[in-house]
Every structure is written in structure tokens, then in C-alpha cells.
Structure 1
Amino acid sequence: MSAKRRPRAVLFDCDGVLADSEGVVNRIVAEDLTARGWRLSAEEARETFLGLAAPDMLPMIEARVGPLPPRWMHDLSREIARAMLAGLEPVPGAPAALRAVVAAGLPVAVASNSARAELVAKLERLGFAGIFGERVLCYEDVAAPKPAPDMYRAAAAACGAPPEACVVVEDSLIGCRAGIAAGCRVLGLTRETDASVLASVGAEPFARMEDLPRLLGLPEVVA
């Protein structure tokens, strides 16, 4: 894939793009739901819920296990946040790619379908919180989570750029749809989702975060 013109801002998803968190989250969700009667492996949880925000997961789960406790989302989010603070690692190549974007002077934002407590814990653990500052968006900040365009439109606004001048970096079909719907150029990392699936909604597949600076037309920063 050849590089295109330099964007005005870069908008990152978190899970699977910056944070290598999918395995931890899927394990916790699978264990919780299995205990409630919906037997799922971590891999099955990934296939079922990849990219979804908790409010969109809720009706799917209650259709299988019945009504959940009122604080289920809150308690699950706290458990995930604790796990993230204990041992989360970055996606390979993500720290250097993020440094390259910042070194080029481009504003960055993170937009995730995670709850805020989870998202903040992930960014703090990875040392990215100071890089994004206030430009941290979660599903609680918008009217509709991904695949709606709300979150990426808000992230673009936080960076002071129109969506069509921004690049979104995603790894899920739901996230890519959100970026495309917002009017952004979308780069789809293929660690979790097949390249043809991401390309089918208009994303540009790429295999390694190390390749991101080149795809943005930026100098690379050595890890």
C-alpha cells in the first residue's frame, strides 16, 4: 500500500491497536458468562463481542442468561481495569508508531468502545495517558458507540480537525465501519480480523503497527 497525503490528526482505537488486551478481556468475559450459564471460551467471546461496547453486549447476553445484575457492566469494567493495571502489554510496534506520529507534530486521540475506567487503566499502564491528555473518548462520551460515527467525529473535533482530514487506526470490523461512517480514512490492522473483511467496508488493511508511520507519510522513530 502506498502512502497518501499527510493527515491533520490520527485517531487510534485502543484494544488490539495500542493495547494487547483482547486476550485478557475475552478471558474475563468468558469466565463471567460461563459462570452464568453461557459456556464460552475466550476465543468464542472474541468472535462474539469483538469491537462491541458493553451496552450493545448487554441484550445479547441477557437473551442467553436472563437479566443481569444492575451493576454488572460496572463490576465487569472494574475487574478488567484491575487486570489491565496488573499486566497489560502494548501491541508490538505501537509505542514506536505512536511516538513517530507525535514527533511529526500531529494531534492524536484515542476512541474506544471500552468503559472509561478500563480505558484510563490501559493508557496509564502503557504510559500513553500523557500523550493523549484530554483527547480520550469512550462509549460513555457519545450518544451511540461504534459502529456509529459519533466517537470518531468527536475525536476529530478534539484534535481540531475535520473527520475527512483524519486517519483512523482500527482492528475490528465494527471500528472500521465507525471510522468510514465518520468520513475518515481508515487503516485496518489485521492482527485480529482478516484483511478482506476490513477491506470490504472500505478500510485499508495493514499487517504491522511498525508500518504505520510509512502509511501516514511520516518519518519512522526507532524503538
Structure 2
Amino acid sequence: MTPPSRESRRPVAAVLFDCDGVLADSEALVNRILAEDLTTRGWRLSGSQARETFLGMALPDMLPMIEARVGPLPPRWAHDLSRGIAETLLAEVEPVPGAVAAVRAVAAAGLPVAVASNSGRAELLAKLDRLGLADAFGPRVLSFEDVARPKPAPDLYRAAAEACGAVPEDCVVVEDSLLGCRAGIAAGCRVLGLARETEASVLAAVGAEPFREMAELPTLLGLRQGVA
């Protein structure tokens, strides 16, 4: 799929960010905690194996896969796991290089920004607090708990566009996973694919425009303001 030329693109009305791997360098932490939990239940996984198995997935979509391997989970398993992840993230997670400055530059240029994540709400808010970005997004923070269907369905990015007062066709999504890119494309957005954990060719194959560093984002959006 070939992206439209710069001349034919609609003006950008809002920028919609994924969180894990785009804003928060949290994949390794989350996958470590998940792998440790599942290993105690009989599914031996390393953090890297957990990443390969569950990258981009929301917890409700992970549950059938997990229970098929380890049997029924305790009733509060998802709640307790999310709480443990949130506590760890609040204490340890660091930003993706260039991400905080990129968000600030986009907001300073007058574009509304939202974050749309397959994480649970508690985890997502913990990450934004830790990164110092909660004020940048304000109420425009959406988790899988806020929509009927998580990514790769388009619901999250359609809701994020609405929260910004824009139509999806005028929004740019910033993603790093295959599932997330598919969600943005399905919503009708232009998708920029950060090629850190996923190969650029894989992101391009579903219609995303790959890029390498978050510091490039203002230039890709055609903003005059750069990232310090």
C-alpha cells in the first residue's frame, strides 16, 4: 500500500499516540512480569517469548490463550496482574528516547493529542504519570476498557479522534506494533509506524509509514517546531 503524496494529504487535525513502545519504553518490564507469573503457573516463558506471543494484545484477548495453556485463572488474576504492573511501571518505566519532547512539540504547535492504548486504565495512567505527560493529554486518555473492542479493531482510534474533536481521516496515529497499525488503518487514519521492535517492512506492509526515531515526528507532521 503506497501512502498518499504530501501534496494530496489532508491537513493534520490531531495526533493519536499509542503508549507502550511509542511513549513508554515499557515492553520489557511488562513482559518480564507477565512471564514470571505465567512461569509459576506452568507456562515457562522468558520476557522475550512473552513479547513475541502477546505484542500489542489487550488483556481480554490474551486470556483465552493463557487459559488454554495453564487452565482456569483465579477470578482476580487480571486485576492483580494489572495492579502489579502499574506499581512497577510507576517506579521504573522510562520514556522512549525523544518521545516526551515530540509530544510537547506537537502540543506546542496547537495540535490536539490523545493516547489510545490496549493497556488497562490503571497501567496507562501510571505510565503517563511517570513520564510527566498526563497534563499533555488531559482527559484524552483511552484504554481498552473504554471501548467495545481493543486493537486491532478501530474502536480506540475512532474514540481518540472524537475526543480530539476530529474525524479519523484528519488524524495521524503513531504506533509501533502490527496490531496497532492495523487499528489505525482500519479507523481511517494516516499511520506512522515507529520501527523499534517491529521491522519497518512489516509495518509498511499493512499501510503504515515507517520511521526510526521519535525525534523525527514533528518533521514528519510538517511542523516548523523541532525537537530539542
| Alignment correspondent of 2:152 | 147
Whether the 8 Å contact between 1:97 and 1:220 is mirrored in structure 2 is no
User: Which of 114, 125, 129 matches 1:120?
Assistant: 125
Q: TM-score, normalised by structure 2?
A: 0.95
Give, in whole Å, the separation in 1 of the partners of 2:137 and 2:11: 20
Name 1:85's counterpart in structure 2: 90
Residue aligning to 1:192: 197
| CA-atom RMSD in angstroms | 1.2
* Equivalences for residues 1-223 of structure 1 within 5 A: 6-223=11-228
> Shift of residue 46 of structure 1?
0.4
Q: Number of aligned pairs?
A: 223
Contact in 1 for aligned 2:18/2:117 (Cα 8 Å): yes
Query: Cα–Cα, structure 1 residues 90 and 155, in superposed 2: closer, same or farther, change >3 Å?
Result: same
1:33-75 CA deviation, whole Å, 9 max, x = no partner? 0110000010000000000000000000000000011111110
Contact 1:100–1:219 under 8 Å retained in 2: no
Indicate the SS of the match to 2:172. Answer: strand
CA deviations over 1:99-137 (Å, ceiling 9, x no partner)? 110011000000000000000000001110011010000
Structure 2 Cα separation of the partners of residues 69 and 214 of structure 1: 48
- For 1:167, what is the secondary structure of its paired residue? strand
**Secondary structure at 1:14 match in 2:** coil
With over 3 angstroms needed to count, the CA separation of the structure-2 counterparts of 1:119 and 1:5, relative to structure 1, is same
Which residues of structure 2 form unaligned runs of 5+? none
Letter aligned with residue 47 of structure 1: E
Shift of residue 96, structure 1, vs aligned partner: 1.1
Amino-acid identity (%): 77
Conserved? CA contact 2:109–2:225, under 8 Å: no
Query: Kindly tell me: are residues 219 and 5 of structure 1, through their superposed partners in 2, closer, same or farther at Cα, counting changes over 3 Å?
Result: farther
- The answer to whether the 8 A contact 1:108-1:135 is kept is yes
TM-score relative to the length of structure 1: 0.97
- Indicate conservation of the 8 Å contact 2:10/2:170, yes or no: no
Contact 1:99 1:221 in 2 (8 A): no
Post-superposition offset of 1:87: 1.4
Gaps of 5+ in 1: none
Q: Distance in 1 between matches of 2:210 and 2:227?
A: 23
Q: Aligned equivalents of 1:125 and 1:210: distance in 2?
A: 20
Shift of 1:214: 0.6
